[in-house]
Structure 1
Amino acid sequence: MSNSGCKKFLDEEDPTNLSPSSFYTLPEHAEAGIAAVYSELRFIGGGAGIFSNNWQMFDAPSGIQSTETAQNSDLNNLYSLIYDGSNLHINQNWNGFYKVIAQANLVLDKVPGINPMDAVQKKRILGEASFVRAWAYFYLVRLWGDVPLILKPITSPSDPNFAPARTPQAQVYKQIVDDLVLAEAAGLPFMDASGRTSTAAIKTELAKVYLTMAGQPLNLGAAYYKLSADKAKEVIDYSTSNPSSLGLFTSYAAIHNATNDNKIEHLFGIQYNDAAGAGNPLQSSYLPLHQPLVSKIDGIGTSIPTPEFYASYEAGDLRAKNREGYFFTDYYTDGFKLPLINRGKPFIFKHFDLVANGTLGVEGTSRSDLNIPQIRYAETLLIYAEAQNRA
């Protein structure tokens, strides 16, 4: 018996072992694929070692932020302007953006071959994937300049793109524009309260890309300033005609109210939903280290503004208004009781979730659904103002 066997039976493939080639066969697979693309965006709020998150790579070199903990050596190196390939924050952002791109590439490569599938649905999903890929490459090219331009799935170590060379910035920018133009033509809703890609987000991102291409490092000049202004104006014109669906919030506090996610001023954001196991992880980062300001969330004080930056705001500037603008200097005991606890220095209120952290008379839930905004209508207006002025 030991010398006889059922080789055919033993070699049978497991039907539950899915691969990209076997998975992308139904419209439902296309929807799952684009959901995976959006899910990858959350790496930005993810952890980067003890008392830190990936987002701090963008803030640390600004000189306007510090930390109360000083226990994360990678973060300390960023604050000291020491940047190298061993830094966890740098690695996680580089890898994170390319993971987003890899998921988008799968969708863009596999979904066109799904048949039968509703043509409108297919066009929408391909448009969304094109936008997100452009969003990721736009970050990469601004952070690192020439970067590998990978547009197809990498399936094995023998793939030529497994260790790709860097692509000149001009070519990367051309691909970003091509992706955004394709997304713009996909027939997506102008605003989308579900958090999926909207035409308003695509047009604003394209206007921002044109504005960037007009200046350093490509220096394409007046023609691209005009392209930027014209594209931003399309969003502004829609807002003028549809003020109830697209515009500015009446107060800055509304921006960090989770009930306003994906509405009015929010054109595109990184989505969080605590009930689905994907809550916003940043709340503790902005709370003072081990202080009784919130009853259910222990602050780690990993990201706080410098006193000099806080003092640079003029008296009466609403951006510096306590517990409304960018900062807070005092908060309620345990997040919901008097007296106020004065910390004597500013902390970041910009991403403060009142539902999670609490407000007077209402204890916080510790569960945050607050999105991380990526594109707001306020930015559309600023892009238009600069581009029109320079065109």
Structure 2
Amino acid sequence: MNSFMKSSTKIYIAALAGALSLQSCDKFLDLEPISQATTANSYKSLADAEAALTGVYDSFQQDYYVWDNVMLSDTRSDNHYAGGDNPSYYEMDELRVTANNDKTWSSWKSLYNAIAKANIVLTKVPTINDPKLDANNRRNQIIGEASFLRAYHYFQLVKLFGDIPLMLKPVSTTNASETNVPRSSVADVYKQIIADLEVAATNLPDTYGASADVNKARATKGAANALLAKVYAQKPDREYTKVLQYANAVITSPAGYALLLDYDNLFDGNHYNNAESIMEVQYVGGKEANWGPQMLLPPSKSGDGWRKFLTPSKDLIKAFDAEGDVVRKNASVLFENVQWVDEFWSAQVGGSVPFSYKWRSANGWASTNRQYLIRLADIILLKAEALNELGQTTEAAGVLDLIRNRVSLPKTTAADKASLKQAIENERRLEFAQEGQRWDDLVRFGNVKEVMNSLNEVNLKTGAKMVYNMTDAKIYVPIPQNEIDRNPLLK
């Protein structure tokens, strides 16, 4: 199975490439991403710009966005246990991540590679002398798309690693004076993310036409506003007035975003590019397929019998049951008897073990199941959070109930700011399990140490209670040792 866990996939987004045609959003172009070109004469035309941009979007089909982002959030948190045979995942699960963890190293490389491709577009496209680039405002749109993508990747990095190097121009030499960049503060990284997103929101359209395959594949004004809402909520000096502003911009967008009536439709594989989706990875099969589901689904769905890599925790199941949340539990978890020992669920072979179920079809490592990069429910719950933090608790409760009503739960009974804050956090846990949100939520709500240190998880093989020893220092993962060795400025 390790042969499928490639460090750099050669996958291109056909749907996106088609979207980049100015003649028609429904036509497909056979464009190959330009991801390594560095010389000025490689970028002369609209076609070159479009191909380079396609290369930036291609980064969403690399390992970090396939499922490492889920491992780094849900497995590190109280939502899931590690599994499989990679020690790096157990380091995440047990909160003992070291600088030599190969998954944080691959995430670092993947995200900075994506940023490098965005930097090329942002540097080269303004200088291309082709009148076609200025037809229909396409040059500014490309700059807006690349700005959004760079911001999205930096948002992942700053949440993972904290202070990180800000690389804003293409690197054209191996000279240490250019490649060795010191860490910028978390505050400065967030300033850059916001600056990029403001450029994106100014230059991007609400939609690119009538095709959902295009509008959900590419950065739009709605996606930029949604990410701004998330950024203003997540940065250490929260700005909830801004969160509310940008959340409302998304909710009232001319793009017409709307919650699906049936929560399960989000994940059944038949309703992608739906009204609730703001942006999603466009896995369509063939060379553009998702191998992640094979790593998570039970034998009856995957067709194999080896232990999988992401197991829902007892604490997560308890949270679903305590809320009486049958709808989201059934959409998120599938129990099955297995032919291996699971140290948290079954000390004997043949016991019942839960599996992550928001991906439903493995299809022999070539699934079309998708991750949502941003969806409307996230923004609605951020609006509730912002209203509550701004003292508008009654209105915030009403917004929260929009999410609860969809899954047939009663209105919240939380009536004061503190209890509603806890209710919103819990709602997000149940809504976004297996979607790479939980760790960020715990950090933002300020209770990651309390939650992780109060877990009552017992290893059934040894009888020992798990001790996570969560500290402030563990909020971020260490800068990879490989990068520290290469760049002495990373102190």
TM class by shorter chain equals 0.7 to 0.9
**Rounded Cα–Cα distance in structure 1 between residues aligned with 2:305 and 2:52:** 36
Residue identity opposite 1:344 in structure 2: S
1:205 aligns with 2:227: yes
CA 1:82–1:295 in 2, change beyond 3 Å: closer, same or farther? closer
1:348 aligns with 2:356: yes
Q: CA RMSD in A?
A: 2.6
**Rounded Cα–Cα distance in structure 1 between residues aligned with 2:206 and 2:333:** 34
SS in structure 2 of the partner of residue 274 of structure 1: coil
Structure 1 counterpart of 2:143, from 126, 134, 152: 126
Residue identity opposite 1:196 in structure 2: R
**Rounded Cα–Cα distance in structure 2 between residues aligned with 1:33 and 1:248:** 34
Deviation (angstroms), 1:389: 2.1
| Counterpart contact for 2:294–2:302, Cα < 8 Å | no
Residue identity opposite 1:89 in structure 2: K
**Rounded Cα–Cα distance in structure 2 between residues aligned with 1:343 and 1:329:** 10
Structure 2 counterpart of 1:80, from 70, 94, 97: 94
Deviation (angstroms), 1:124: 1.0
**Rounded Cα–Cα distance in structure 1 between residues aligned with 2:83 and 2:113:** 31
SS in structure 1 of the partner of residue 62 of structure 2: helix
Query: TM-score scaled to structure 2, two decimals?
Result: 0.63
Residue identity opposite 2:224 in structure 1: I
Structure 2 counterpart of 1:230, from 245, 256, 263: 245
1:318 aligns with 2:322: no
**Equivalences for residues 27-42 of structure 1 within 5 A:** 27-42=46-61
User: Match of 1:43?
Assistant: 62
**Rounded Cα–Cα distance in structure 2 between residues aligned with 1:297 and 1:278:** 22
User: Match of 1:376?
Assistant: 375
Deviation (angstroms), 1:370: 2.1
1:305 aligns with 2:312: yes
Question: Which stretch shifts more, 152-161 or 60-69?
Answer: 60-69
**Equivalences for residues 1-391 of structure 1 within 5 A:** 19-45=38-64, 53=68, 55-69=70-84, 71-116=85-130, 117-119=132-134, 120-158=137-175, 160-190=177-207, 193-194=213-214, 195-213=217-235, 217=236, 219=237, 224-238=239-253, 245-275=256-286, 277-288=287-298, 291=299, 293-294=300-301, 296=303, 300-314=307-321, 316-322=324-330, 325-330=331-336, 344-353=352-361, 356=362, 367-391=366-390
Q: Percent identity?
A: 29
**Rounded Cα–Cα distance in structure 2 between residues aligned with 1:268 and 1:328:** 26
| Counterpart contact for 2:264–2:328, Cα < 8 Å | no
**Rounded Cα–Cα distance in structure 1 between residues aligned with 2:351 and 2:41:** 57
Deviations 1:245-264 (A, max 9, x none): 42011111111144432321
Deviation (angstroms), 1:147: 0.8
Deviation (angstroms), 1:18: 5.9
Deviations 1:296-329 (A, max 9, x none): 566641111123321222264134443xx21112
Higher strand residue share:
1
Query: TM-score scaled to structure 1, two decimals?
Result: 0.78
How many residue pairs align between the two structures? 334
**Rounded Cα–Cα distance in structure 1 between residues aligned with 2:251 and 2:37:** 45
Greater relative CO, 1 or 2 (CA 8 Å, sep 6+): 2
Deviation (angstroms), 1:187: 3.3
**Rounded Cα–Cα distance in structure 2 between residues aligned with 1:329 and 1:199:** 40
Deviation (angstroms), 1:44: 3.7
**Rounded Cα–Cα distance in structure 2 between residues aligned with 1:347 and 1:295:** 11
Residue identity opposite 1:38 in structure 2: Y
**Rounded Cα–Cα distance in structure 2 between residues aligned with 1:173 and 1:81:** 25
